Structure 1
Amino acid sequence: MSRKKDTITLSIPAGTKEQLEAIALRLDIKWGKSPSVSGLLVAIAQHKLEVGEPFTLNSTEVAALQQAAKLLVDSGHLRDAEVLAALMLDRGNLDAPLRQSILQLVSQPSEGWRPRVDQLKKAQQPFHLLYRNNQGEDLEYTVRYAEVSFEEKRFYLNIWCEETDDIKNPDYPELIHNRCLRFDNIKAIVPISGHWRCEGLDYLVVYLHFWGGLIKAYEHRVDKDIQDEVLGEGKTKVRQVVRRVSNPFWLIREVFRYGKDCVIVSPQNVRDRFQQELIDLCRQYNLEIRD
């Protein structure tokens, strides 16, 4: 028995039928070999077709999706990252450099390194790691400890490795075995025999002083701050934070954000490094420092 069908009569301007047939033909909606306006209307009614202005992503939405895709890549969820990347490429109205950046994201290796690292860390299994840095150099590390940290909108792999020759002039000899790596630059991970370093990363004990509004506003870092107390009274009042720092690079960037209300008190080599960064910044703006 044939299925009962409803019929409707439409009053449309001249030329509209041809326009509808052209749309049906473009979408391959046909009756036999001819475009089907009836089939087009059915597809619209069943929400199989998008009607109205094409859905597009604005620049803010693209930036948010791009950040989310990077986090998914770093976390090992590559297929989900590819879905977001495809959405941005299809609906983002992107300029050429941004399209190339997202295409590169889509073309990441099929293996996600984050789950592999998590597995090896849980098993306390040392591993050999092949890494390509931003200068295009291939580096090999024998990893005895690893942990993941979240710094400035993405995940990084922090390792304690046996190799030290790749750091020619270390600013912090105490931390020469520490490395901070991007997941998307890892090329291979191979488990090896040997001991796992239970002590974790090497670190410096850094003393920070906060003044003004930061005495109350500073947010305690549970994972890093080992001492946090307010000292003195009145104008001499200061909040002293003692922190374990395995990579001063991130600390210096953080202190820059605090401005004049935060000072690195010690150790001297970290304080000197921050001072040099300030001097270099002043030179960039042709500022002369006078006593």
Structure 2
Amino acid sequence: MSRKGQSITLSISERDKAQLETIARELGMLWGDRPNISKLVEAIARRQLLIASNSNWSSERIQALARSFQALTDTGQVEQAQIIANLLLERSEVSLPLRRDIERFLENLPPAWRLEIDRYLLRHQPFQLSYQDAAERIWNFTVRCGKITLHEKRQYLDCWCEEEGNSDIPELAHNWSLRLDRITDAAVIPVAGHWRSQLDRIEVEMHLLEGLAFAYQAKPEDTIVEWLADNQRIRRVVRQVTSSFWFLREVMQYAPDCVIVSPESMRDRLTAKLRTLCQLYDIETNS
């Protein structure tokens, strides 16, 4: 005769029951194709599964993971952010506001095409991106270098593409900056060929004056930050620039304490903007 197992009754909510079934399914404890809570309890009793405290992480560890989650989200590394998000949700130490933020993130994950872009960027795989903008124009780009970048709190795909026509100076004609939240749907497919190590870039020299010279903090793109030998109140900065659009938007914030010295093409772009601004405010210029 076969011996019948002893039965016990668990008084738990439907939500807790669903959680136990999820754990059982994840661990392969099934009855047929259904999760088996009895097998899960039995494995715990036989110490095949160890029960550990879920409230012993320090606040510093939680904060470090929360900052990592936010940084990955801001830079578009969605799959890595998901891993940390799910890890945090498993912890009882996570505060209710943070838990809600994470749950909102997981409920509103980017579309499949965006995740596909993230994978190609991670693998350095060239790809073709096709989409239709709000004006119903079709855009096709063959991307051979790129990264997700934050510009003014919005995510952009900064990329080197075979296609020209971005209205930048000739040296940067292949660099594009595509605002991702304006793409509602897209087709993304891999293409053959090599992956470039970086975007096209030019070297720009600028001089910082007055308080900006003392307050300026070097950026990763800066190759030289020094005081002029013949004028200790002027700071010389040389930077690698991949987009005149974003560079000039930054410089315009600091006028008149920031002067572009070279190249001439970048000076000309800023001069044109300043002339347009003078015309709008009825300011007369000599030329």
TM category, shorter: 0.5 to 0.7
Q: 1:249-284, CA deviations, whole angstroms, 9 ceiling, x for partnerless residues? A: 011111111121101111101110001101101111
Amino acid at match of 2:199: L
Residue 111 (structure 1) shift: 2.8
Q: Is the 8 A contact 2:149 2:155 kept in 1?
A: yes
Change in 2 beyond 3 A, CA 1:108/1:136: farther
Deviation (angstroms), 1:218: 1.1
Q: Taking structure 1 as reference, are residues 251 and 73 closer, same or farther at Cα in structure 2, changes over 3 Å only?
A: closer
For residues 109-124 of structure 1, the aligned pairs below 5 Å read: 110-111=111-112, 113=114, 115-124=115-124
- Residue of structure 2 in register with 1:238 after alignment: 234
Q: Which amino acid aligns with 2:159?
A: I
Map of 1:220 onto structure 2: 218
Equivalences for 1:92-107 in 2 at 5 Å?
none
Asked if 1:264 is matched to 2:260, the reply is yes
Is contact 1:208–1:262 with CA below 8 Å preserved after alignment?
Answer: yes
User: C-alpha distance in 2, partners of 1:139/1:185?
Assistant: 12
| Alignment correspondent of 1:25 | none
Report the AA paired with residue 162 of structure 1: E
Q: Give the partner amino acid of 2:149.
A: S
Tell me if the contact between 1:205 and 1:243 (Cα under 8 Å) persists in the aligned partners: yes
Note if 1:172 corresponds to 2:169.
Answer: yes
- Which ranges in structure 1 are unaligned for 5 or more consecutive residues? 1-67, 88-105
1:278 equivalent in alignment to 2:274 = yes
Structure showing greater radius of gyration is: 1
How many Å apart are 1:290 and its aligned residue?
Answer: 3.9
| 1:249 aligned onto 2:249 | no
- Deviations along 1:10-33, one digit per CA (max 9) or x if unpaired, are xxxxxxxxxxxxxxxxxxxxxxxx
Q: Distance in 2 between matches of 1:145 and 1:138?
A: 21
Cα distance in 2 between the residues matched to 1:230 and 1:177: 34
Unaligned runs of 5+ in 2: 1-69, 86-99
Aligned pair count?
194
Secondary structure of 1:242's match?
Answer: strand
Equivalent residues in 2 for 1:1-291, closer than 5 Å = 76=78, 110-111=111-112, 113=114, 115-133=115-133, 135-164=135-164, 166-167=165-166, 170-186=167-183, 187-198=186-197, 200-222=198-220, 224-232=221-229, 237-290=233-286
AA at the equivalent of 2:225: D
Q: Which residue does 2:40 correspond to in 1?
A: none
Contact 2:76 2:118 (C-alpha < 8 Å) held by counterparts? no
2 CA distance for matches of 1:206 and 1:73?
25
- Partner of 1:251: helix, strand, or coil? helix
Could you tell me which amino acid in structure 2 is paired with residue 159 of structure 1? C
Residue deviations 1:106-148 (CA, integer Å, cap 9, x gap): 99974361x4333212211110101334543211011111112
The Cα RMSD (Å) is 3.1
CA distance in 1, matches of 2:75, 2:235: 38
Letter in 1 for 2:182: N
SS of the aligned residue for 1:287 comes to coil
Cα distance in 2 between the residues matched to 1:207 and 1:130: 36
Q: Spell out structure 1 runs of 4+ moving beyond 3 A.
A: 71-77, 106-110, 131-136
Partners of 1:124 and 1:173 in 2: CA distance = 25
- Work out the CA distance in 2 between the residues paired with 1:272 and 1:226: 23
Identity of aligned residues (%): 38
Q: Note if contact 1:175-1:202 (Cα within 8 Å) is conserved in structure 2.
A: yes
CA 1:216–1:269: 2 relative to 1, 3 Å:
same
- Residues 63-84 of structure 1 show CA distances to partners (whole Å, capped at 9, x for unaligned) of xxxxx9xx7796659x99xx98
Q: Is the 8 A contact 1:74 1:154 kept in 2?
A: no
Q: 1:213 to 1:285 in 2, by over 3 A?
A: same
Taking structure 2 as the reference length, the TM-score comes to 0.59
TM-score by length of 1: 0.59
Task: Assess, with a 3 A threshold, how the Cα gap between structure 1 residues 265 and 136 changes in structure 2: closer, same or farther.
Answer: farther
Tell me, in whole angstroms, the C-alpha distance in 1 between the residues paired with 2:134 and 2:252. Answer: 24
